[in-house]
Amino acid sequence: MGSGADHGDFEAFVAARGPRLLKVAWLLTGDAHLAEDLLQTVLAKIWPKWHKIADSHPEAYVRKALVHTHASWWRRRWRGEVPHGELPDATASGDRYASVDLEQSLADAVRALPVRQRAVVVLRYFEDLSVEETAATLGCAEGTVKSQASKALHTLRERLPPLTEGGCDRYARSA
């Protein structure tokens, strides 16, 4: 493995970007435990290569690795889809119930998407990548990204209340 300095950089990267990358993993898997498993799998893969990617765009590299590793899990059926285990806290406020409801709806909705469409949704609409960047990350044509995004959007509009019931402002979390 790399030097102590390399490890320090790596640890700093994980500390800084880990929360966001974990969200990406959650959107890909729809499950908190699988998300952590996916992220750790990818971090273990990139650690030995860290000295090569640290100076370029490590987050893009990790993001790409997340998407492709998740796709390989999917292909190999190593991971079964599991129900979301997080339940609303008994003393949760109305806002918290609303956000847990939305979280659950989102988890259910993304799990309903084919794996490629999930990846497109995460990259295009959560990571805000362009069509071109998304295509480059997935290794597919820009037209494929557009068509997959369109299909995914159609599915999500059917499944996600905020997209079908006049906007998501009512789900805004309290400050």
Which pair of structure tokens corresponds to residue 46? Answer: 């990139």
Question: Which residue, among 16, 3, 5, 8, has the nearest Cα to 59 in the 3D structure?
Answer: 16
Q: Is 147 among the residues that bind other proteins (CB under 8 A)?
A: no
In angstroms, give the least distance from the CB of 123 to other proteins: 11
Restricted to residues 72-131, the positions that interact with other proteins (CB under 8 A) are 86, 99, 102-103, 105-106, 121-122, 125-126, 128
In angstroms, give the least distance from the CB of 17 to other proteins: 11
Q: How many beta carbons lie within 10 A of that of residue 162, not counting itself?
A: 16
Looking up tokens 């796709």 gives: 71
Q: Is 155 among the residues that bind other proteins (CB under 8 A)?
A: no
Choose, by CB under 8 A, the member of 16, 114, 157, 158 that binds other proteins: 157
Residue (125 or 144) nearer to other proteins, CB: 125
Which pair of structure tokens corresponds to residue 154? Answer: 């159609």
Looking at this protein, which amino acid is placed at residue 127? E
In angstroms, give the least distance from the CB of 172 to other proteins: 7
Burial of 134 (0-12, 13-18, 19+ CB in 10 A): buried
Do the beta carbons of residue 158 and residue 165 sit within 8 Å? Answer: no
What residue ranges bind other proteins (CB under 8 A)? 1-3, 11, 14, 18-19, 22-23, 26-27, 32, 35-36, 40-41, 43-45, 47-49, 51-52, 86, 99, 102-103, 105-106, 121-122, 125-126, 128, 153, 156-157, 160, 162-163, 167-168, 171-173
